[in-house]
Amino acid sequence: VMTQSPATLSVSPGDRATLSCRASQSVYSSIAWYQQKPGQAPRLLIYGASTRATGIPARFSGSGSGTEFTLTISSLQSEDFAVYYCQQYNNWPPVTFGGGTRVEIK
Amino acid sequence: EVQLVESGGGLVQPGGSLRLSCVASGFTFSSYEMNWVRQTPGKELQWVSYIKSSGSIIHYADSVKGRFIVSRDNAKNSLYLQMNSLRAEDTGVYFCARGSSGWGYWGLGTLVTVSS
């Protein structure tokens, strides 16, 4: 089970956002982060816990291993307000997702 | 440009069937593992099924095992999901997604609504 916190994060543009994802058992570094905007498919941001996907800005960074993971957005831009999901792909099947964190404008 | 385009969704009664398709372009489809994932009305993401590039390995979520069948036709660059004995809880947007360690490409999804 993947648990994300908080459910909603209110942040001002330009501020840092820190999103958490906890696994019920170790997934080593087999975790990905996705961003989803309304009406769109999820977009891969991070895989392998800390590797940015192609074309993802450097303000997005991932860290952690085992059961505790963090996605950090260093300086929020207007286009970053969205829902973020973590996904584990170590103990699969099944692949599992967290419930999501909504990042909203403060 | 990589593109994945789903189709086949719609309104179906409980117990009914639907067949979803996902047509791929912009990459060598036969070289990639593929997945079906759905998003519930509550926005939860649920993995549904996986198929290896050759089709030789297939996995299903427990919730759909015995009811759904995934297949692919590499000659047609196409992925399929045959959904039988549909239930209300199968309602959602169904996406196809490419990859295994992080899914870098997703389609836009097709909506499946199971209701009487």
Query: With pLDDT > 70 as the criterion, what percentage of chain B qualifies?
Result: 100
Write the DSSP symbol of residue A29. Answer: T
- Could you read off the pLDDT of B55-98 as tens digits, one per residue? 999 999 999 999 999 999 999 999 999 999 999 999 999 999 99
- Could you read off the pLDDT of B20-43 as tens digits, one per residue? 999 999 999 999 999 999 999 999
- Could you read off the pLDDT of B87-96 as tens digits, one per residue? 999 999 999 9
Write down the pLDDT at residue A93: 87
**What is each CA distance from A2 to A22, A68, A87, A97, B114, in whole angstroms?**
6, 10, 7, 6, 27
Query: Is residue B102 pLDDT above 90, yes or no?
Result: no
**What is each CA distance from A69 to A4, A24, A43, A87, B33, in whole angstroms?**
9, 12, 18, 11, 26
- State how far residue B39 is from chain A, nearest Cα, in angstroms: 10
**Which of A40, A47, A83 is opposite residue B102, by nearest beta carbon?**
A47
Burial of B103 (0-12, 13-18, 19+ CB in 10 A): buried
Q: Which residues of chain A have pLDDT under 50?
A: none
Contacts of A3 in chain B (CB under 8 A): none
Residues on chain B bordering chain A, Cβ-to-Cβ distance under 8 angstroms: 35, 37, 43-47, 50, 59-62, 95, 97, 100-104, 106-109
A28 touches chain B (CB under 8 A): no
**Which of A43, A48, A97 is opposite residue B101, by nearest beta carbon?**
A48
Burial of B57 (0-12, 13-18, 19+ CB in 10 A): exposed
